[in-house]
Amino acid sequence: MLDIGTIHRREYELDVNRPEGLPKGKRIGKDVGADETLEVVVAQAPGRIHFLGEHGDPDAGLYLSAAIDRSIKVAVSPRRDSSIRFYAPDLGERKRTTLASLKYKREDRWANYIKVAMHLFIELGFQVRGLNFTVTGNIPQNVGLASSSAMELASAVALRGLLKAKMGETELARKLAAVHLLYFEKAPCIADYLVGLLARNEQFLMIDEANLSVTKIKSPFSRCKFIITDTRVPRIGVETELMTRREDLGSAVEILSQGRKGASIRDFVAMDIMDSMGDLPEKTRRRSLHVVQEVQRVSDAAELLRRADLTGFSKLVFHSHEGLRDLYEISCPETDWLVKRAQETPGVFGSRMVGHGFGGCTYAIMKNEAVDEYRQRLDDYERIFGFNLVTHEVKLATGSRVVV
């Protein structure tokens, strides 16, 4: 990854000519005085994998997740005017706005996620006249590894450090999610923020969105590889498809609970869905069945990880993908083909799609000696589907932090 601190200082001509040995400026508080030296703070936030639980209850999901060693870094420094500058050296792009016109703009694309973090601290009463931002990263884009959430988190953690804001990780996640909803008029997955903030090396997290509880589980896969395989399938119209599935879940809850307020799909078990065959439309029943089964799979998988039962865990993961394919219906032939090749490879402990579906990527957990054979089994992919897939080897990683 690029040396973002040096790039940031050169881009904004900060401390470039400071004599060697001269101390850096002090940190700033809630107000930037005219005589303050402009300090640079750099923060890093990881990407993540939801190993199980993705596409569960949209209001109270249960996830088995972990951060990965691909990340976004954001450097921030205060300005003495009201201008907001954004620079992405990976893309060779610059964006700019002012405090007075700080709002969502479609053409600002990636910079909008940084604006979310800015709005959070502005709403909390922190005052700055302007800010410089530089962003770089190596999280694969648009494949379900939470690169946009990582950008929001890295920006928020950098600003928290710059402004010396006293705010715990869960509070930061909750407030960032609330601002994201107001800014984009779409609720984010708060579990993404919690993974990005609370993850630790070689740990899985079981995250309950209903109460924001996080349970840490030591990974039994320390001698295994985690391989991300990007299908390279163009993803078009995904939001519309996902909305229909959320509506199906809402209809199922309404019927099963007989209109009881505050009910959740998690209030029911698979037998409830099976017994409702005459009450629920078949499509709604199938999709609801996957969600209630997935909730149980997350709980079961957490226990299997604690016992280091890799075979049992592998079966759950493959069953989860089958549910996404056959019941929830958000997979695609390319993704199914990749999961099947992983299932056929000796030494693989589960594979499943990641992200919103209809393309994106899969993950596969495997013994070191299985990697070469798995990659060989993918050789026919381009000939069959016409897309040149990409694989990434990742490790479980720690959460967001200030690095400079």
Backbone phi, psi, residue 264, to 5°: -135, 155
Structure tokens at 122: 């502005």
Backbone phi, psi, residue 243, to 5°: -65, -40
Q: Is 284 helix (H, G, I), strand (E, B) or coil?
A: helix
Residues paired with residue 64 on neighbouring β-strands, in sequence order: 52, 206
Residues paired with residue 224 on neighbouring β-strands, in sequence order: 367
Neighbours of 100 (CB within 10 A): 7
192 annotated active-site: yes
Backbone phi, psi, residue 29, to 5°: -105, -135
Cα 383 from Cα 388, distance rounded (Å): 9
Closest CA to 370 of 307, 322, 314, 293: 314
Neighbours of 293 (CB within 10 A): 18
Question: CA angle, 144 as apex, 142 and 150 as ends, to 5°?
Answer: 85
Looking at 15, 192, 208, 230, which residue is catalytic? 192
Residues serving a catalytic function are: 192
